[in-house]
Amino acid sequence: MKIAIVGSGSVGTYYGAKLAHGGSDVHFLMRGDLSDVRRDGILVRGRGENFQVVKINCYNSTQEIGPCDLVIVALKATSNADLVDLVPPLLKERTMLLTLQNGLGNEEFLAEHFGADRVLGALCFIAVDRHSKSEVERYAYGHVVLGEFNRVSQPRTREVAAEFSRAKVHCSVTDNLALERWRKLIWNIPFNGLSIVAGRIDTAAIVADKNLRELTIALMNEVITAANKCGHALPNDGWQEHIKRSETMSGYKPSTLQDWEAGKPLEIEAIWGEPVRRAAASGGKMPLTETIYALLNKMDQGRGSP
């Protein structure tokens, strides 16, 4: 299976390196200077793993990569418009498109532009940071939940899962990708949002503060209620596992906070805006999430202002 990684940030670099280390034929799109990666390879550090992939297939353009069997999309959702030009050189008749992106609406974007039959999605339950183009560090987890867009799992779904498993990535297959998208939002909506609006703080600071912890749980319950209103049956106590897991993360900075500190665009629409709109379309309300959504938009618009 020839695999392209489109989006070589922390998540794309980590999983691409894992796949390459496991023996997969991986090709990275890395726009910009490639000299460090070509010279040093990619170093992965984390609890229970420390390895280096010395020979990296990396390119400035997807034309150089050519047609692939699997395209893994790990760009931020804010860059989806770029995919319209980036993806076509990677396609052949049966090329699969697998998005690892956060939030809602990414599978729909790929389906609209490249055909729904190609599209798969995955939820990456991982805390990872890229220190440079050639070094990433995993702080926790690494579990991947893989599914098909708007259909149950197929033989190819399990083939892709096997590719991850061969690379020692814990990967499970779901028959309901949309449900799992909402399940991940239970964590993403409060922690990514509060990490910024509460004053650029990490996960440990959020769970340690009584008021922020209570607000986090309230936001999680709001997501669960909205998901059920949209027809995705999440358990009422589904927030508990997310809180417990967050207590073990040792002060991790969520991806949106990392983007904020790096001056990058924030995935506001995918993580907060689209869930609010889908809940409203189903007759539900997410007032706390709407507040986070409005605050993030205001703060994002004010960046760079005197």
36-64: pLDDT as tens digits: 999 999 999 998 899 999 999 999 999 99
CATH number at residue 80: 3.40.50.720
Residue 55 sits in the same domain as residue 189 = no
Poorest-pLDDT segment among 131-140, 259-268, 274-283: 131-140
pLDDT in tens, 174-212: 999 999 999 999 999 999 999 999 999 999 999 999 999
Residue 280 sits in the same domain as residue 143 = no
Better pLDDT: 262 or 290: 290
**33 — pLDDT class (breaks 50, 70, 90):** confident
Q: Which residues of 126-148 are buried (b: 16+ CB within 10 A; e: fewer)?
A: bbbbbeebbbbbbbbbbebbbbb
* 285 is a catalytic site residue: no
Active-site option among 184, 210, 244, 253: 184
Among candidate residues 175, 209, 233, the one where a domain is terminated: 175
The pTM of the full predicted model, rounded to 2 decimals, is: 0.93
Residue 245 sits in the same domain as residue 223 = yes
Residue 122 sits in the same domain as residue 140 = yes
Q: How far is CA 238 from CA 18, 46, 243, 306, in A?
A: 30, 27, 10, 42
Residue 37 sits in the same domain as residue 168 = yes
Helix H, strand E, coil C: the string for 118-167 is: HEEEEEEEEEEEEEECCEEEEEEEEEEEEEECCECCCHHHHHHHHHHHHC
Domains in the chain: how many in total? Answer: 2
Among candidate residues 131, 156, 175, the one where a domain is terminated: 175
Among candidate residues 123, 157, 175, the one where a domain is terminated: 175
Q: Is 257 in contact with 195 (CB distance < 8 Å)? A: yes
Q: What pLDDT was estimated at residue 304? A: 61
Q: What pLDDT was estimated at residue 251? A: 82
Residue 30 sits in the same domain as residue 167 = yes
Residue 124 sits in the same domain as residue 41 = yes
Residue 17 sits in the same domain as residue 155 = yes
Residue 118 sits in the same domain as residue 202 = no
**269 — pLDDT class (breaks 50, 70, 90):** very high
CATH number at residue 208: 1.10.1040.10
- Which residues form the domain of 272? 179-302
Residue 107 sits in the same domain as residue 139 = yes
Sign of CA dihedral 277, 278, 281, 287: negative
Residue 186 sits in the same domain as residue 159 = no
Residue 208 sits in the same domain as residue 251 = yes
